[in-house]
Amino acid sequence: MPLFTGLYINLDRSADRRRAIEDKFARIGLGGIYARLAASEGNALDVPNPHGLKTGEIGCFISHYRALDQNRATSTPLHVVEDDIILSPQLPQVLDWAISAGHLDKYDLLFTDVAVPLLNDACHAYKAFYDAIVKRDAAGNITDTAFAVLDMRELIFASASSYLVKPASIGKLAGLLHKELMAGAAMPVDLHVRKLCQQGVIRVGCIFPFVTTVDIDTSLSTMTEKRFDDLPAMAANILRRSFFIGADWGQLCAEAGRLLPQPDAGDAHRQLMMRLLGYALTPGYKKC
């Protein structure tokens, strides 16, 4: 048996997603480990909304609050996932490693993947982390993999799709989310968690390389009503997926070539900037 319990968030109207996520759990040996939480359809708690969050964003915030609030009494680490997540076969062993090795003890929660912003310094940092941990041969095949936990306080990130919470922090996080909801949430739940991390209110880590990821071509998130079929979001999802332990870089390069236009070199100034940004992604670059 794994060292954790699980919960997945799923809308009542998304029966296909429910079957799909339960099949995913079964394929990696986690069948029957995850309970289902019926996701909130919009503002189920009738909380104030002075900042004009979308109905789906409020529903997502409330769903994650309920996932934590209903598990305050648990004595085991809790893994919360949304129903469209992609799972690595290594997920059970890696979560057990994070718990048994004491990594979870240092944090309130550990993400299993995050959105990586299309920003040069962020890409450089995550690439350096990846190259230090995952070893590949000349053909790009993984020859040796270790896992690490990144401290996220100094990194830019966003995610609510998969995270592991230590038992002592479940009530704390539920209380923080409830407080924000009652005051009128100023931002979606994943960005609020990042804000709490950056303020030092909670400690957030991320298992790296990622052992979960998201689809590239998702056209509509049932949780947030945010469309993912625009090019910036597709590019961000390709980048996020490139740090997944099961990533096929050749396939991702092909997807990028199919979905994204070739960059326009433009004038000499843009060509100069592209050259400089390319240099800033090399291993020898150091932020000044």
Mean pLDDT computed over every residue of the chain:
92
Q: Taking residues 104-131, what's their average pLDDT? A: 94
Whether 188 and 55 have beta carbons less than 8 Å apart is answered as no
Q: Taking residues 256-272, what's their average pLDDT? A: 86
Q: What tokens appear for 30 in the block?
A: 């986690």
Between residues 25 and 218, the one the model is more confident about: 25
Distance, CA of 231 to CA of 227 (rounded, Å):
11
Distance, CA of 256 to CA of 262 (rounded, Å):
10
pLDDT category at 20 given cuts 50, 70, 90 is very high
The predicted-structure confidence for 153-163, as pLDDT tens digits, reads as follows 999 999 999 99
Does residue 160 sit in helix, strand or coil? coil
Whether 219 and 236 have beta carbons less than 8 Å apart is answered as no
Listed range (70-84, 125-139, 221-235) with the worst mean pLDDT: 221-235
Structure pTM?
A: 0.93
| Residue 151, phi then psi, degrees to nearest 5 | -85, 125
The pLDDT score that the predictor gives to residue 220 is: 47
Amino acid at 121: D
Fold for the domain defined by 5-248: Spore Coat Polysaccharide Biosynthesis Protein SpsA; Chain A (3.90.550)
Q: What tokens appear for 160 in the block?
A: 């609510």
The predicted-structure confidence for 37-88, as pLDDT tens digits, reads as follows 999 999 999 999 999 999 999 999 999 999 999 999 999 999 999 999 999 9
Q: Exposed e or buried b for every residue in 92-107, given b needs 16+ CB within 10 A?
A: bebbeebbeeebbeeb
Distance, CA of 54 to CA of 52 (rounded, Å):
6
Distance, CA of 257 to CA of 116 (rounded, Å):
20
Whether 215 and 252 have beta carbons less than 8 Å apart is answered as no
Does residue 207 sit in helix, strand or coil? strand
Rg (CA), the chain: 19
Query: Which residues is 80 bridged to in the sheet?
Result: 7, 163
Q: Given CA atoms 234, 240, 245, 251 in this order, what sign does their dihedral have?
A: positive
